[in-house]
A and B are shown apart, each in its own frame.
Chain A
Amino acid sequence: MTPASLRTYIGTWIALMVLLALTLGSSFVPLHGFNTTVNVAIALVKATLVAVVFMRLRTSSALVRLAALAGVMWLLILIGLSFTDLLIRY
C-alpha cells in the first residue's frame, strides 16, 4: 500500500482552505434563508475530503469503508428517529 502523492495532500489542503473562505464569504451574502444549507453543504464536502484523502478511505479495504459508513448510518438513524419524536410532540 503506497501512500498518496504529495500533490494530492497539498491539493486537498488548498481545496479545504478555499472551501473555508467560501463558507465564510457566503455567510455575509443574504441567500434568503439558504445560508445554513450552503454552510452545511460545504462542511459535508470538507468532511468528505478529510475522510477520503487524509483518512485514506480512498485506498482502504471494503471492510474499513463499511465500518466508516456504519458510523454515519447509525448517526442518521439516531437523528431520524429523534426527529420523528420531536415533530410529533410539538
Chain B
Amino acid sequence: MTAPAIAAAAKAEERETATLGMWVFLATEVLFFGVLFFGYIATRLRYPEAFALASRHTDLTLGTINTGVLLTSSLAMALAVRSVALRAVRVGAWLLIATVALGVTFLVLKSVEYVHDYREQLVPWLNFTFSHAERAGAQLFFYLYFVMTGAHEVHLIVGIGLVTVMLTRIWRRRIEAASVAPLEVTALYWHLVDIIWIFLYPLLYLVSRT
C-alpha cells in the first residue's frame, strides 16, 4: 500500500471505531431511559384512569410543536454531517447553527410549558393540587412527566453543548471532510435524544384525548 492509501485506511478505521464506541454508549443511554419507561408502564397499568385524566392536563399544542421542532433539528443535523462529508463545510456550519437554534427553541417552549404546569398547580414537589378521586395516580403521572422530560432536557443541553464544540472546531478548521468522525458521533447522540422524545410525546401527551 502507498502512504496515502494507508492514511485513508487509518481514517476509515477511526470512523468505524468512533461510531461503534458511540453506539455502545447509546445502548447504556437506552437502558437509562428504559428504566424510566418501565416505571411509566408499571404505574400506568396500576392507575389507567388517573393517567388518562392527568395526561389531558399536559399542553398538547406546545408538546406537538416541540415534537416537530426536534424532528426538524434531526434533519438539520443529518444534512450538516452530509454537507461536511461532501466538503461543503460552510453549508454544514450553517446547518449546525440551525440545529442548535432548533434545540434552543425546544428548551424555550418546554420552559413556557413548565410555567403553565406550575400555574395549573401540577408540580408534585411544589404545588400539586388535583381535586379528584384519582389524585394519587395523577400525582405519580406528573412525577414521571417531570423526571422523564427533565432527563431528556439535560441530554438535549449536553447535545447543544457538543454541537457548539463542533462549530468551534469547524471555525478553527479542525474538522473537514477527511476528519468527519467527531461530527458524525455527535450527530448520533443528537438523533438518540430525538428518538427518546419520539416515545415521550405519545406516552405523556396522548394518553386519552378522545
A88 interface residue per 8 A CB criterion: no
**Contact mask for chain B residues 24-38; partner A; CB cutoff 8 A; 1 contact, 0 none:** 101110110011011
Binding site for B on A (CB under 8 A): 1, 3-4, 6, 9-10, 12-13, 16-17, 20, 23-24, 27-30, 35-36, 39-40, 42-43, 46-47, 50-51, 53-56, 60-61, 63-64, 67-68, 70-72, 74-75, 78-79, 82, 86, 90
Contact size class for B? 35 or more
Minimal beta-carbon separation of A37 from chain B (angstroms): 11
How far is A39 from B28 in the complex, measured between Cα atoms in Å? 25
Interface residues of chain B: helix, strand, loop or mixed (majority): helix
Name B residues whose Cβ lies closer than 8 Å to a Cβ of A: 12, 15-16, 19-20, 23-24, 26-28, 30-31, 34-35, 37-38, 41-42, 45-46, 64, 67-68, 71-72, 74-75, 77-79, 81-82, 85-86, 184, 187-188, 191-192, 194-195, 198-199, 201-203, 206-210
Please give the distance in Å from A52's CB to the nearest CB on chain B.
11
> Chain B residues near A30 (CB, 8 Å)?
210
Residue of A nearest to B78 (CB): A54
Question: Which residue of chain A is the closest to B184 with respect to CB atoms?
Answer: A56
Q: Contact at A61–B27, with CB atoms within 8 Å?
A: no
Pair B27/A82 contact, Cβ less than 8 Å: no
Q: A51-B191, A68-B23 are in contact. Are A9 and B202 (CB under 8 A)?
A: no
Determine if A68 and B26 form an interchain contact, defined as CB atoms under 8 angstroms apart: yes
Cα A70 to Cα B148 in complex, Å, equals: 23
Contacts of A50 in B (CB 8 A): 74, 191, 194-195, 198
Query: Which residue on chain B has the smallest CB distance to residue A20?
Result: B67
The residue on A at minimum CB distance from B19 is A64
Minimum C-beta distance from B31 to chain A (A) = 6
Residues A47 and B199 in contact in the complex (CB < 8 Å), given A20-B64, A30-B210, A55-B191: yes
CA of A20 to CA of B202 in the docked complex: distance in angstroms? 10
Please tell me if the beta carbons of B71 and A75 are within 8 angstroms of each other in the complex: no
Question: A35: shortest Cβ distance to chain B, in Å?
Answer: 7
Verify A24–B64 contact, CB threshold 8 A: yes
Residues of chain B with a CB closer than 8 A to A28's CB: 209-210
Residues of A within 8 A of B85 (CB): 3
Alpha-carbon distance between A17 and B64 when the two chains are bound, in angstroms: 11
CA–CA, A64 and B188, complex, Å: 12
- Chain B residue nearest to A5 in the complex (CB): B82
- In the complex, which residues of chain B have a beta carbon less than 8 angstroms from the beta carbon of A90? 46
Partner of A43, one of B34, B68, B198: B198
A30 to B184 CA separation, bound complex (whole angstroms): 42
Known: A43-B202, A78-B31. A27 touches B209 (CB 8 A): yes
A78 touches B191 (CB 8 A): no
A68 to B20, CA, bound (A): 9
27 contacts between A and B (CB under 8 A): A3-B82, A3-B86, A9-B82, A13-B71, A23-B201, A28-B210, A36-B207, A39-B206, A40-B202, A42-B202, A47-B198, A50-B198, A54-B75, A54-B187, A55-B192, A63-B16, A63-B20, A67-B27, A68-B23, A71-B26, A71-B28, A72-B30, A75-B34, A78-B31, A79-B41, A86-B42, A90-B46
